[in-house]
Amino acid sequence: MTQFTSRAVRIDQNGGPEELKIVDVPVGEPGPGEIRIRHKAIGLNFIDVYQRSGLYPFPMPLQLGMEASGVVDAVGDGVTHLQVGDRAAYASNPPGSYSELRVMPAKCVCKLPDAISFETGAAMMLKGLTAQYLLKKARPVEGLEPGDHVLFHAAAGGVGLIACQWAKALGLQLIGTAGTDAKCQLVLANGAAHAINYNTQDFAARVKDITGGKGVKVVYDSVGKDTWDKSLECLRPFGLMASFGNASGAVPPFAPGMLGAKGSLYVTRQTLFTHIATREATQAMADDLFAVVLSGQVKIHIDQRYPLAEVQQAHRSLEARQTTGCTILTL
């Protein structure tokens, strides 16, 4: 059995960015349903921070990373949608993309269209597929129609900037929040109908002003604890609170009765990996994402690049909210 060696980023215990270590790991042959992929670029995501810190617990040691692009190096038995030499990209469990080379399940790996670069492929999969399911699948009970208002927190981030553009293409009036005036300008430049600086404005009051007191049909929230209560105030009756992250910390427990008092609201906690649990679902969502990117309606903004060796600094910048758009690690 052929053994290769790959540089990889691993943690031996949960903690801060200082726990991220570059190590050499052995990489073998792919088994049934697996591929080996040689990475060209790696995506950085907030879920990586959650796994490093222990908010999302994993057995140790843990090789981090959920997203990357590269070239298929070997294919295991039963894999028919990929061949050696294919350009490919993925967002996938288990973690391990912070590496030069890895063996992984093939079901969530998709062929990357020739017109999309490896860097864009690495930056767009987890964030773009997240935006896809939020706007197309995590929908309020009354549906979404062109002209409807939606509220999107952290709209200047990687998922947010994709969602701003995609929402505009769908005819939605997206209200984006961000933490600085410069980020608000970025949100508007990417198709949001309105932008709110939540550090200087009461976003719930502004949403009511923008919507003529009606509120929005859906709030998309990856911030968590800091935005939760006021987000519920932004919803119209039968509105949907779609939580998909905890950048400020986990949402505290709440009594379901409050949802009735606020207008018979719905709450959902979404995760991408439920949506891409099958090969067919993954491919259908990826095809939708590739189409909207190739059409030019959604541009993938890579605003930060770090060599793999600088992964600690990349995590510090992400946690300090010093980043916009997408961040990638380069090899």
Read off the pLDDT of each residue in 11-32 and give the average, rounded to a whole number: 98
The 10s digit of each residue's pLDDT in 60-91 is 999 999 999 999 999 999 999 999 999 999 99
d(CA 241, CA 221): 8
CATH of domain 4-126+299-330: 3.90.180.10
The 10s digit of each residue's pLDDT in 92-138 is 999 999 999 999 999 999 999 999 999 999 999 999 999 999 999 99
How high is the pLDDT of residue 249?
Answer: 87
Q: Would 4-126+299-330 and 139-269 be classified into the same CATH topology? A: no
How high is the pLDDT of residue 1?
Answer: 65
Q: How would you list the strands of the sheet with 173-178, edge to edge?
A: 194-197, 173-178, 149-152, 216-221, 235-243, 266-269
Instruction: Tell me what percent of the residues of the chain surpass a pLDDT of 90.
Output: 95
The 10s digit of each residue's pLDDT in 179-204 is 999 999 999 999 999 999 999 999 99
pTM of the complete model: 0.94
**Residue ranges of the domains in the chain?**
4-126+299-330, 139-269
pLDDT level of residue 10 (50, 70, 90 thresholds): very high
**Contact assessment for residue 95 and residue 116, using Cβ atoms and an 8 Å cutoff:** no
Mean pLDDT taken over the chain:
96
The 10s digit of each residue's pLDDT in 125-154 is 999 999 999 999 999 999 999 999 999 999
CATH of domain 139-269: 3.40.50.720
